[in-house]
């Protein structure tokens, strides 16, 4: 997370959840920078505390109240302290949060970040709490300017909301319907980030493949080409792709656009057609597999990752076997796997045939163990090869070593070469010596460029 804010007041910001939320936090910091807030990592030194919440996973509200409980005490010796809640829980709960936590000063959803300055003024001048309910329309100035999450890497929102209403998902209810951002505005933001030294951008949306369908002025592949034209940007990633909307034009762009990282995250969720139908995903297992096969046949080194949910209501043992069969067939590079848990307000929460916890838990264990073997096998194919890596900083396991990422998102740890600049953002060629299920290890082969 960035630390480049400078100003008179201090903000402590805690983020729960996904990359969209991380990006929202970066946008919050961007707006706060304009009104002279700098970031602190010590809540006791803050003039403003914001908890940016997520309700995709279980127990979201409890997490918020427990975090708020930690900060409540601070108000007793710093009465000027402003405490706020943003994100999906704020969007869902609105003023109800103020009732449960009367010491809260501001509550605002993901579409109201651009109103933060007004909310802070209102809360501090009028000395009363302020809650903003969901905006029906997304304002032209909503996106603001995201501060880079690290010096060399940044997330850029290209759209908001989602129109898909998958049966298990709360996002369309908290983030609203899908609206694309204009391509000129996206490119302008990428140019400004590049001027600040950013080399890698990740374009963000709940379903980037439908970019341009609601607002926006070009298709997603066209937007990618425009972003690739920005000088100084060396790597482009995007997340998330919905399998039903991935186009052949996008698939072939991986061949034609060298700045596009050879990695796609394509959430399949289940290997059973019956479960996919109940989830409302809009594709069959065979349709999914044909997309993945085309990608792998065109680019054998392409990394394909996915999300899997086990124990969706009504999932039988045979459905789970189908999921295991798909895992075996595709051989994903890695997966994010989850036990289904009902989100209040979603269609699936009212489905009758909820799967018992012990069954879900056992299925998750089996899935993760199988994937661990597959990830190791996929990583072992890279032993002996030389791969370009972007340095991210010190290794988490050994501060004497560096850690970086390949174009396809794999973590590579390697000893720091002596006498060379190796700050975050440098591109380095690394020869891979050992593969593990979740990372690679290597030696620097050749320094490419700073």
* Contact footprint for ligand SF4 (CB under 6 A): 162, 164-166, 169, 171-172, 206-207, 242
Going 254 to 299 to 442 to 337, the CA torsion angle's sign is positive
Instruction: Name the strand (E) or helix (H) holding 38.
Output: strand 37-39
Tokens for 341, please give them.
């848990």
Q: Which is nearer to ligand SF4, 92 or 413 (CB)?
A: 92
Minimum distance, C-beta of residue 312 to ligand SF4, in the bound complex (Å): 12
Cα distance between residue 232 and residue 311, in whole Å? 45
Q: Which is nearer to ligand SF4, 199 or 237 (CB)?
A: 237
Minimum distance, C-beta of residue 267 to ligand SF4, in the bound complex (Å): 7
Q: Which is nearer to ligand SF4, 29 or 162 (CB)?
A: 162
Minimum distance, C-beta of residue 418 to ligand SF4, in the bound complex (Å): 46
Q: What angle do CA 340, 342, 344 make, to 5 degrees?
A: 160
Query: Any residues with CB less than 8 A from the CB of 211 and at least 6 apart, and which?
Result: 158, 159, 180, 205, 219, 220, 223
How many CB atoms sit inside 10 A of residue 290's CB? Answer: 12
Q: Which is nearer to ligand SF4, 172 or 415 (CB)?
A: 172
Minimum distance, C-beta of residue 282 to ligand SF4, in the bound complex (Å): 9
Minimum distance, C-beta of residue 338 to ligand SF4, in the bound complex (Å): 11
Helix then strand count (H, E) for the chain reads 13, 19
Q: Which is nearer to ligand SF4, 40 or 269 (CB)?
A: 269
Cα distance between residue 115 and residue 6, in whole Å? 21
How many CB atoms sit inside 10 A of residue 75's CB? Answer: 16
Instruction: Name the strand (E) or helix (H) holding 371.
Output: helix 357-380
Phi, psi of 259 (to 5 degrees): -75, -15
Q: Which is nearer to ligand SF4, 55 or 422 (CB)?
A: 55
Minimum distance, C-beta of residue 244 to ligand SF4, in the bound complex (Å): 9
Minimum distance, C-beta of residue 269 to ligand SF4, in the bound complex (Å): 8
Query: What letters, b where the CB count within 10 A reaches 16 and e where it falls short, cover 132-165?
Result: bebbeebeeebbbebbbbebbbbbbbbbbbbebe
Q: Which is nearer to ligand SF4, 100 or 177 (CB)?
A: 177
Minimum distance, C-beta of residue 361 to ligand SF4, in the bound complex (Å): 22
Q: What does the DSSP assignment read for 381-407? A: TTTT-EEEEEEEEE-SS-TTEEEEEET
Q: Which is nearer to ligand SF4, 314 or 393 (CB)?
A: 314
Cα distance between residue 27 and residue 23, in whole Å? 6
Minimum distance, C-beta of residue 24 to ligand SF4, in the bound complex (Å): 15
Contact of 50 with 86, CB cutoff 8 Å:
yes
Q: Which is nearer to ligand SF4, 54 or 162 (CB)?
A: 162
């Amino acid at each position: 997370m960035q630390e480049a804010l400078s100003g008179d007041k201090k903000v402590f910001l805690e983020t729960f959840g996904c990359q969209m939320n991380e990006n929202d936090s970066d946008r919050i910091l961007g707006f706060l920078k304009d009104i002279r807030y700098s970031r602190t990592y010590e809540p006791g030194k803050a003039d403003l505390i914001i908890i940016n919440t997520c309700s995709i996973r279980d127990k979201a509200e409890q997490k918020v109240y427990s975090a708020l409980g930690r900060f409540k005490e601070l108000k007793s010796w710093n009465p000027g302290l402003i405490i706020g809640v943003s994100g999906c829980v704020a969007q869902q709960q609105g003023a109800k949060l103020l009732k449960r936590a009367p010491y809260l000063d501001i509550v605002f959803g993901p579409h109201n970040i651009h109103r933060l300055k007004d909310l802070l003024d209102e809360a501090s001048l009028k000395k009363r709490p302020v809650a903003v309910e969901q905006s029906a329309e997304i304002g032209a100035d909503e996106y603001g300017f995201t501060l880079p999450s690290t010096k060399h890497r940044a997330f850029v929102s290209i759209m908001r909301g989602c129109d898909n209403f998958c049966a298990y998902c709360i996002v369309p209810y908290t983030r609203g319907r899908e609206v694309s951002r204009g391509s000129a505005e996206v490119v302008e933001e990428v140019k400004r980030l590049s001027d600040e030294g950013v080399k890698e951008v990740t374009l963000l949306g709940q379903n980037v493949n439908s970019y341009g369908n609601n607002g926006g002025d070009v298709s997603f592949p066209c937007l990618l080409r425009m972003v690739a034209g920005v000088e100084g940007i060396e790597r482009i990633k995007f997340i998330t792709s919905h399998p039903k909307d991935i186009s052949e034009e996008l698939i072939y762009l991986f061949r034609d656009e060298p700045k596009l990282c050879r990695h796609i995250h394509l959430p399949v969720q289940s290997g059973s057609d019956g479960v996919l139908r109940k989830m409302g995903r809009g594709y069959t297992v065979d349709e999914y597999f044909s997309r993945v096969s085309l990608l792998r046949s065109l680019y054998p080194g392409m990394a394909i990752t996915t999300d899997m949910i086990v124990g969706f209501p009504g999932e039988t043992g045979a459905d789970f076997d189908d999921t295991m069969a798909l895992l075996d067939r595709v051989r994903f590079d890695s997966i994010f796997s989850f036990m289904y848990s009902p989100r209040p307000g979603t269609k699936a929460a009212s489905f009758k045939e909820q799967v018992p916890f012990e069954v879900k838990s056992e299925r998750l264990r089996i899935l993760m163990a199988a994937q661990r073997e597959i990830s190791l096998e996929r990583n072992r194919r890279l032993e002996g090869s030389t791969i370009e890596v972007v340095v991210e900083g010190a290794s988490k396991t050994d501060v004497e070593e560096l850690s970086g990422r390949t174009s396809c998102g794999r973590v590579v740890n390697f000893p720091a070469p002596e006498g060379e600049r190796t700050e975050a953002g440098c591109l380095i060629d690394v020869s891979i010596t050992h593969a593990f299920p979740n990372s690679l290890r290597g030696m620097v082969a050749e320094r490419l460029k700073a």
